[in-house]
Amino acid sequence: MQGETTFMAVIMSTFGKRVRQLRLKKKLSQERLAELAGLHVTFVGAIERGKRNLSLVTIVKLAKALKVKPGELFQGIRT
């Protein structure tokens, strides 16, 4: 169980860093990304800090707001 918890934490952290990287590349604030994705700004902050385990719907919303394919959000995640 401990290994699985650590694995999930690494995935969420890596995903969050990727969202932040893409957001900054697109010159978007957290507030603007939240607005475009229909999410609350504190939720976007928690995603970027790797503190949220997201649904597929939320991943698609983020990808659409960032104008990338959903798979691009997973770049850098090692399984």
pTM over 0.95: no
Per residue in 21-73, pLDDT (tens digit) is: 999 999 999 999 999 999 999 999 999 999 999 999 999 999 999 999 999 99
Domains of the chain, earliest start first = 2-74 (1.10.260.40)
Question: What is the three-state SS of the chain?
Answer: CHHHHHHHHHHHHHHHHHHHHHHHHCCCCHHHHHHHHCCCHHHHHHHHCCCCCCCHHHHHHHHHHHCCCHHHHHCCCCC
pLDDT of residue 76: 86
Is the model more confident about 2 or about 75? 75
pLDDT of residue 77: 87
